[in-house]
């Protein structure tokens, strides 16, 4: 684990503890997901916050202007990160927080790879099946298109891969033929 990921994990864990005490875990998650989207669409803003050339006062004013309606815990997190010269970790911290909230709320996460986009019905059926299989209340699927699969789907949850793709089946068949 890299040092930055460990640091980001500590900040996100602290934020989660504050949210638990305040009883607004899900509200902060929703707000942080929105902030993540904004930051990802504005990488120059993230660069400004991470820049050693820009003063902390300027950075804090930029955060206050950009996120004026943000929950105080989020604003405080930004300010602490700026003071500690770690504002460039904000996206990683948000990702860790969201994953921690999902674990806290018993919501699973998975990456789903398919040749074509899944229909809403297919996505719902797959999410329900994997939620039941993993004993989660619900499953959040991050969808990816991968033409190399030929057909079927591949689901990745952490380090576990469930490969129901046609490519995997063909590779398995080829391996069996070689072993015969």
The domain limits of the chain are 3-102, 107-179
- pLDDT beyond 80 at 180: no
Say whether pTM exceeds 0.75. no
Burial environment of residue 72 by CB neighbours within 10 A (0 to 12, 13 to 18, 19 or more): exposed
CATH of the domain spanning 3-102, picked from 1.10.1060.10, 1.20.1070.10, 1.10.520.20, 3.30.70.890: 1.10.520.20
Q: How far apart are CA 140 and CA 173, in angstroms?
A: 32
Q: What pLDDT was estimated at residue 1?
A: 47
Q: What is the pLDDT of residues 43-102, one digit of tens each?
A: 999 999 999 999 999 999 999 999 999 999 999 999 999 999 999 899 999 999 999 999
Beta strands in the chain (DSSP E): 107-114, 138-145, 153-157, 160-163
């Amino acid at each position: 684990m890299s040092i930055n990921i460990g640091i980001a994990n500590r900040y996100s864990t602290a934020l989660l503890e504050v949210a638990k005490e305040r009883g607004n875990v899900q509200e902060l998650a929703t707000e942080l997901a929105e902030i993540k989207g904004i930051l990802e669409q504005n990488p120059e803003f993230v660069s400004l916050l991470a820049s050693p050339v820009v003063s902390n006062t300027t950075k804090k004013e930029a955060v206050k202007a950009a996120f004026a309606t943000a929950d105080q815990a989020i604003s405080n997190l930004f300010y602490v990160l700026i003071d500690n010269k770690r504002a460039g970790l904000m996206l990683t911290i948000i990702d860790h927080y969201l994953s921690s909230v999902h674990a806290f709320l018993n919501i699973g996460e998975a990456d789903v790879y398919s040749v074509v986009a899944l229909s809403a019905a297919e996505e719902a059926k797959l999410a329900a099946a994997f939620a039941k299989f993993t004993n989660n209340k619900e499953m959040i699927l991050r969808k990816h298109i991968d033409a190399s699969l030929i057909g079927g789907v591949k689901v990745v949850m952490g380090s576990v891969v469930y490969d129901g793709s046609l490519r995997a089946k063909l590779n398995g068949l080829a391996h069996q033929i070689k072993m015969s």
